[in-house]
Structure 1
Amino acid sequence: MAPRSPLLRSPLVHSGVQFMEQSFLKYVPCQRSRLATTAPSLNYAMTGSKGPTAMVFLNMGGPSKTDDVEDFLTRLFADGDLIPLGRLQAYIAPLLARRRTPKIQRQYADIGGGSPIRRWSEHQCQEMCKILDKLSPVTAPHKPYISFRYASPLTEDMYIKLLEDGFGGGNGGRAVAFTQYPQYSCSTTGSSLNELWKWRNRLEGKHANNDTLGTIQWSVIDRWPTHPGLVEAFAKNIEEQLATYPEDRRNAVVLLFSAHSLPMSVVNRGDPYPAEVAATVHAVMQRLRFSNPYRLCWQSQVGPSAWLGAQTSHTVQEYVKRGQTDLILVPIAFTSDHIETLYELDREVIHEANHPGVKRAESLNGNPIFIRALADIALDHMQRGEKCSTQMTLRCQGCKNERCLEQKKFFAGSALVR
């Protein structure tokens, strides 16, 4: 499966527990919303002076039903930003997809017949837009869109819908591409932005980003690994799971933060993902006052090449062998449940551990603290009027991808990219 990772006002690592506590005060606990809801229709008569604003969530996506698995895998294996297979990639991808489809179909069948990513993404985006309409009437209405890299709604479908809804096509209008990979990776956020840039050129022409052309004016929220609301949402879920252990064992429970791994070839190229995941982990532990021992591990290695480790499955097996059987798995790079949490962690790693002390913290899903954090991130981005983060203007040290360079020039501005 594909990596799902990949800094606005907050620095990578906040210093001082007191500062962190103050930052989290507005993220108060409240009842979880677990079911997706339908957003009300937007009233364009109520448009603010800088609205409407399209809020576009970028994510990997997942097959909504088992019949969609082969198409999903074909697109995934065809993505050279994610899995570089050389000049024959377009021919190899369908063969790999066809070979793996039966196994992956069985896995999706075991978790309910399809991925819940679309349902949760739509819910999160819709609820965020409702909050933004209240917080920022000048940029309202905020219209929710989902753009998946490998499953419906695909990037091109999202872009066509934008044009149908009156954005671009000579009308101008503002759109914010909001990655749902909190930690940036060229293989996740970078790939999604490359795809968005491609379809922008195809559907609106290869013009400069100029208001006078009437094209959609894009900006990008490209990473947010240590935002206080994200950290608080993770911390609350961990605390809730810790509370299920007897008090005399609670402080000895080991927290295993699990993120999707990357090939070492990508890491050695200079991809920022491992550092940003580690920053999220440190921020969460700082919020928890380092109450428990913890480790960062990596899941979902694919193929024989070297990947970033230690692997989550091996880590759990080793600790259980040593007698450390109170473990909480924390999916630290995912914003909702999907096959890597519901099948790989729950049905493989935890099942194989075969011990009641091995558990998993709840995913973010409909967590209202998390959804409020999304709104705060978007509000801060729009108020600051930035095109993207400073980090996005810097290419990986070993980057040779010309498409990545041109994409960055478009979203960040040619003079800024280095």
Structure 2
Amino acid sequence: MFLHNRNVLKLACNAANFATASATRPKTAILMLNMGGPQNTDQVHDYLLKIMTDRDMIQLPLQSRLGPWIAQRRTPEVQKKYKEIGGGSPILKWTELQGQLMCEQLDKISPSTAPHKHYVGFRYVNPLTEDTLAKIESDKPERLVLFSQYPQYSCATSGSSFNSIFTHYRSSSLPSDIKWSIIDRWGTHPLLIKTFAQRIREELSKFVETKRNDVVILFTAHSLPLKAVNRGDAYPSEIGASVHMVMQELGQTNPYSLAWQSKVGPLPWLAPATDDAIKGYVKQGLKNFILVPIAFVNEHIETLHELDIEYCDELAKEVGVEEIRRAAAPNDHPLFIEALSTIVADHLQSNQSVNPKFLMRCPMCSNPRCRESKRWYQQLCSH
């Protein structure tokens, strides 16, 4: 009797273990790639150090010396900014929530590729992409989708994340039983455009009716060094395409413009800067604004501090703005979750594992690592 009970118990435990393994073993893994942000002020220095020494992100003379020096020098100032928005970046919280909601929808709309599981891979802070890849390998999915969370492609952002995966597998063996594919850009996806348009409408409705049609919709995106633009980086044109589509969705209701934020260092970057654009329009007599972070899919330091505190509060008071509002990032807006799940579901159903544009280099590319990386991805996605 005791032996029988023990065998029953053993069978029950094995069944429970199998069920748990099945529940955690996805058929389709989706790796959400982004820059990331420090979750507390202690992480700020290492985060800045990784950025300042990444030649895909920024090219500096004597980078191995100058990069660490800049990171050290900027740490106290950046720590202060994070303290002012609550002590850390909410980007991990938002990405985890977006991934969870996306996979819940994917399980419903694409049962043939279920179960789906999201993973977060950050470039400069935990969870680092290379650590997350090890987790994915241990979960043994049949398929892995590398899903850039930068809707518009730039070599400095998306490119850096993809290059980091290539670099990781130069020194680690590639799992042979996973089918890989890539979603590298999606800045004009109709549901993303509808999300931004809805976020703008939410803010427009808060202006008095007599002012509403004169409110300037000022789209703002992270700037890029002109050196990268002149090399042929696709980012400025892809940002412009997103802006055009959003205004089309809104029916061209308001005056609008595009400006660039977050410039670092003395070299020339895309202009006008967002703060200069606000000053310039106020001088022209335009004093009501909505700022729209068109390149960001969730809140972080560039929206919560730079836009909300530095521009909507401090600058607005300084230059005499009448009313300025900021459209929320997509975050967990239902339209945006639908966008994410639809983009992945359509990708999984298509026969295309990689966008041919992704395999192209900039016409004036001089980065040998980029050349090797594109060749590697071409082989990887052909299996």
User: Shift of the alpha carbon at 1:414?
Assistant: 8.7
Question: 1:151 & 1:194 partners in 2: Cα distance?
Answer: 16
Question: Is the aligned partner of 1:60 residue 2:29?
Answer: no
Q: Give the letter for the 2:132 counterpart.
A: M
TM alignment of 1:72-111, pairs within 5 A = 72-86=47-61, 88-111=62-85
Distance 2:20 2:204 in 1: 44
What is the count of residue pairs matched by the alignment?
A: 360
> Offset at 1:143?
1.1
3-state SS, counterpart of residue 198 of structure 2: helix
| Higher Cα radius of gyration | 2
> What is the match of residue 363 of structure 1?
329
Q: Tell me the equivalent position of 1:155.
A: 129
More divergent stretch after superposition (391-400 vs 57-66): 391-400
After superposition, the Cα gap between the structure-2 partners of 1:115 and 1:178, relative to the gap in structure 1 and judged at 3 Å, is same
**Residue identity matched to 1:412:** Q
Question: Quick one: distance in 2 between partners of 1:155 and 1:127?
Answer: 21
CA–CA separation in structure 2 for the residues paired with 1:359 and 1:47 = 43
Letter of the 1:295 counterpart = S
Q: Distance in 2 between matches of 1:197 and 1:85?
A: 23
Q: Which amino acid aligns with 1:285?
A: M
Q: Which residue of 2 aligns with 1:144?
A: 118
Q: 1:397 aligns with which of 347, 359, 363?
A: 363
For 2:90, which of 116, 122, 128 is the aligned residue? 116
Closer/same/farther in 2, CA of residues 71 and 202 from structure 1, 3 Å limit: same
What is the letter of the counterpart of residue 198 of structure 1? T
The TM-score, its normalising length taken from structure 1, stands at 0.83
The residue aligned with 1:189 is 158
Name the structure 1 match of 2:283: 321
Rounded to whole Å, the distance in 1 between the matches of 2:349 and 2:24 is 17
Query: Where in structure 1 do 4 or more consecutive aligned residues deviate above 3 Å?
Result: 42-48, 413-416
Larger mean CA deviation between 260-269 and 343-352 belongs to 343-352
Give the gaps of 5 or more residues in structure 1: 1-41, 168-172, 206-212
How far apart are residue 43 of structure 1 and its match?
6.2
Structure 2 residue 218 is matched with structure 1 residue 292: no
Listed one character per residue, the Cα deviations across residues 285-337 of structure 1 (whole Å, up to 9, x for unaligned) are: 00001000100110111111110011100011121233211110000000001
Q: Give the Å deviation of 1:393.
A: 2.1
Q: Of 296, 302, 310, which aligns to 2:264? A: 302
Of all paired residues, the percent bearing the same amino acid is: 48
Does the 8 Å contact 2:150/2:297 carry over to 1? yes
Paired residue type of 1:101: T
RMSD: 1.9
Partner of 2:235: 273
Q: Is the partner of 1:328 in helix, strand or coil? A: strand
Query: 3-state SS of the aligned residue for 2:172?
Result: helix
CA contact (8 A) 1:59 1:149 kept: yes
> Which structure 2 residues correspond to residues 337-416 of structure 1 after superposition, within 5 A?
337-351=299-313, 352-354=315-317, 355-413=321-379
Q: Which residue of 134, 147, 160 corresponds with 2:108?
A: 134
Unaligned segments of structure 2, at least 5 residues: 1-18
Deviation string 1:140-169 (CA, Å, 9 cap, x unpaired) is 1111100000011011111111122235xx
**Change in 2 beyond 3 A, CA 1:415/1:141:** closer
Distance 2:282 2:292 in 1: 17
Q: 2:146 aligns with which of 152, 177, 181?
A: 177
Question: Which sits farther off after the overlay, 230-239 or 51-60?
Answer: 51-60
User: Relative contact order: is structure 1 or structure 2 higher (C-alpha 8 Å, sep ≥ 6)?
Assistant: 1
- Compute the displacement of 1:389 (Å): 1.3
SS at match of 2:121: strand
Cα gap change, 1:43 to 1:133, in 2 (>3 Å): farther
Rounded to whole Å, the distance in 2 between the matches of 1:216 and 1:251 is 52
Partners in 2 of 1:47 and 1:394 — Cα distance?
36
Change (3 A) 1:180 1:320: same
Is the Cα–Cα contact under 8 Å of residues 326 and 358 in structure 1 kept in the other structure?
Answer: yes
Counterparts of 2:381 and 2:333 in 1: how far apart (Å)? Answer: 40
Displacement of 1:415: 11
Deviation at 1:44, TM superposition (A): 5.7
